[in-house]
């Protein structure tokens, strides 16, 4: 994505534009492999008959994850939820990802991506579950200089 669409990030384009391109690249990669029927959706807030909601500070909040890999209308095979920010990932977005990894959604993985247009790297926080506990690991990914 960086090689073809870096101008979106460098010019701090709307997150929705960046999310669209990232989802397209990820969906193309997914279609080249065994995708197990997964769909890639942006801003998908449906959960069966209702809306996606998670509990944040004792209050249920409607949410729309930026990008998700899932099978529509069922929660058994939710795979990956992604939140993308131009700058730093917010506490709200971290809580959203953690909430999506818990019942009833049970996403296997989460990723918070900070594009950081004024830096030479992206920040990616990867969330995963092991023994019913959610862990996170932060990575700095260098941007290519030849764009």
Flag whether 41 is in a domain.
yes
Q: What does the DSSP 8-state code read for residue 116?
A: -
Looking up residue 18, the CATH number of its domain turns out to be 3.90.1570
- Count of other CB atoms within 10 angstroms of residue 106: 13
Closest CA to 102 of 136, 85, 78: 78
Q: What is the extent of the structural domain holding 121?
A: 2-142
Please check whether residue 147 lies inside any domain of the structure.
no
Per-residue pLDDT of the chain (147 residues; tens, 9 = 90+): 555 666 666 666 678 888 888 888 888 887 766 667 888 999 988 787 788 888 888 889 898 999 999 988 888 889 999 999 988 899 999 999 999 999 999 999 999 998 877 778 889 999 999 998 999 999 998 877 544
- Cβ neighbors of 133 (< 8 A, separation 6 or more) are none
- What is the C-alpha separation between 83 and 68, in angstroms, rounded? 9
E strand map for 67-120? 67-70, 80-85, 109-114
Nearest to 114 by CA among 129, 126, 106, 102: 126
What pTM was computed for the model? 0.86
Count of domains forming the chain: 1
């Amino acid at each position: 994505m960086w090689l073809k669409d870096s101008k979106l990030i460098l010019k701090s384009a709307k997150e929705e534009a960046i999310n669209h391109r990232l989802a397209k690249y990820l969906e193309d990669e997914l279609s080249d492999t065994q995708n197990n029927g997964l769909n890639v959706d942006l801003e998908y807030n449906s959960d069966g008959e209702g809306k996606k909601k998670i509990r944040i500070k004792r209050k249920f909040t409607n949410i729309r994850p930026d990008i998700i890999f899932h099978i529509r209308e069922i929660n058994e095979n939710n795979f990956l939820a992604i939140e993308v920010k131009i700058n730093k990932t917010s506490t709200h977005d971290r809580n959203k990802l953690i909430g999506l990894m818990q019942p009833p959604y049970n996403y296997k993985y989460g990723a918070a991506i900070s594009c950081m247009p004024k830096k030479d790297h992206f920040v990616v926080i990867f969330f995963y579950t092991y023994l019913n506990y959610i862990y996170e690991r932060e990575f700095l990914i260098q941007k290519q200089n030849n764009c």
